[in-house]
Chains A and B, each alone.
Chain A
């Protein structure tokens, strides 16, 4: 039996498939994982605020109580370098939209003193919540920091940003969400 033609045909087909699959890898960032949470109701949480004064004296913030305005949740940590870089952008966004949307920084795997020192050095414009035991991070499916979730007026997660956010991206999304009926 002649094996040559079989090898040739089978081999070339396999080569085409393999190269196509490997090449498809260039289109995707292996570190970016699409969140299944987008379009779903945000999981509720009750977290302790670092500075109760910033939450109107409330010690605990319930996410479910924040309906009717868009909510921005930024997961971060003091040891994370991209978080330092995006912090300025977030402050600017929060100052621009502070009256029409709520912003929360969720810190996980960190010490309160370190958080306080970090914020003192870099400025604060919105409340910081302590995610003890990473419970909120797990409920939201956070892979790493920084990750930012944007929730609409109905409590549905509309977008997740992995890595640093841009002012433009945040602003256009928030403008759209603010315009939606509650």
Chain B
């Protein structure tokens, strides 16, 4: 199958710091691809490259058959949950509407057509009941469902997700990641899922790109999430424990453990 995302000899530096170099990667339609790594390892920059918001120093990145470009309709983007002010003049359906035609010039003319599409998308993510509620009054989990609907508005071939589960409770983490996985399997969209916590999506992930210390490793979770590979990437001993289908990483270097949800997993949570 032809890859939908391709990187060839790609490298990215900020000043003297190398985030990653000589990255070669193909992501196929219907593949659930996770990007993992500590803070500052270049996970978000990786997404920005695919969004066309960040230039590569060397190499090239292509989407479909063409170089990445800003505003490509092949891409759907789900950002981190970020609360809206309570008086934001926008209801749930308007947020989804931005994904449908918010980028077009002029006023919305085909009102009923746009409304039908918005209703479909709301139905798809189970958000119909709060379609007319101002977004500022919705919970983080409800907002993220709307973000999924918004991102799916253009029937994207690639779904880019930037820590979409951050600050959600377990129930909503499962619901939102299941929605994303559904799009991946039923519509054959490639999913690029940036996260620092693999466990909520461990059942869905096909392959992992692990970024750390200016280096990376690509492979299935079984290949990458091992004591040997992560110890090598971090340059110090890191213990990876597989327990009950979950992965616990212990002993990450201090500088990278901040905000690292993998570490504080307790015995109770693993069991």
Whether A and B are associated in the same complex: the answer reads no
Residues of B within 8 A of A (CB): none
